[in-house]
Amino acid sequence: MERLKNHEDNFHAGMLIFGGFSLATGLYQNIVLSRPYFYALFSLGMFMVLLSLYKLLAAEKLFSKWSIPDVMVFATLLILACLIIDRLGMRLGYWEYPHYGPDDDLRKYLLEWAIALLYHMVSLLLGIEIFRKICTYDASAFLLSILLIVTPVGFLTEGLNLQVHSWRVLSMPFSNLKIGDFFLVFQTLGYWLMALIPYTLYLIVDQSVQKR
């Protein structure tokens, strides 16, 4: 048992170190080199760092009881959702990728969409775990996490993007109200949905796992 715990601790430490390196590299690409492709390493790093922090706080681990087929089902649903959202958004003229071509699609959908949605989901769950220690009710912890964790993470993401335009937002449904260069709807509802969509898919798959 002690050996298993040490193995898990080493794995989490390694994931945190690798995630921190990936995150730092993505930030270097963005801030110093002004490369629009920073988002791949940034997303991977954010996911690994946030997941490591979540594992330290949460009693129940993500994906802990899942088999490989369960993970594959979740990954397929997540990538399919990414494809639908992105293609629909581009078709409706909500955003574009000024530096991307068809050869970039694999990286874009795997790292800059699927992994990006996952790190927003984990930011939501991490916030819930933090606020559960303060609030009595799960609903309050959920709301505080959306407002105080997910929203700032979204602002950070979009703030970095505005330096290099990995993607460019052209207009938004319902309202084009802006604060500086930030589309208000995109910064609130958009990033909330980026956390809630993968979380909903996770709950659907996890429910089927729990029933077995």
Residue 180 is predicted with a pLDDT of: 78
Inform me whether the pLDDT recorded for 24 exceeds 60.
yes
| Helical ranges in the chain per DSSP H | 2-31, 38-57, 68-91, 105-107, 115-132, 138-145, 151-164, 184-185, 191-211
How do residues 103-152 score in pLDDT, each as one tens digit? 999 999 999 999 999 999 999 999 999 998 887 688 899 999 999 999 99
Inform me whether the pLDDT recorded for 87 exceeds 80.
yes
Query: Which amino acid, one-letter code, is at 89?
Result: G
Inform me whether the pLDDT recorded for 6 exceeds 60.
no
What is the Cα–Cα distance from 207 to 201, expressed in whole angstroms? Answer: 10
User: From residue 204, how far is each of 80, 82, 106, 210 by CA, in Å?
Assistant: 15, 17, 25, 10
Instruction: Name the average pLDDT for the chain.
Output: 90
Inform me whether the pLDDT recorded for 31 exceeds 50.
yes
What is the average per-residue pLDDT within 195-203?
97
Structure pTM? 0.91
Inform me whether the pLDDT recorded for 21 exceeds 90.
yes
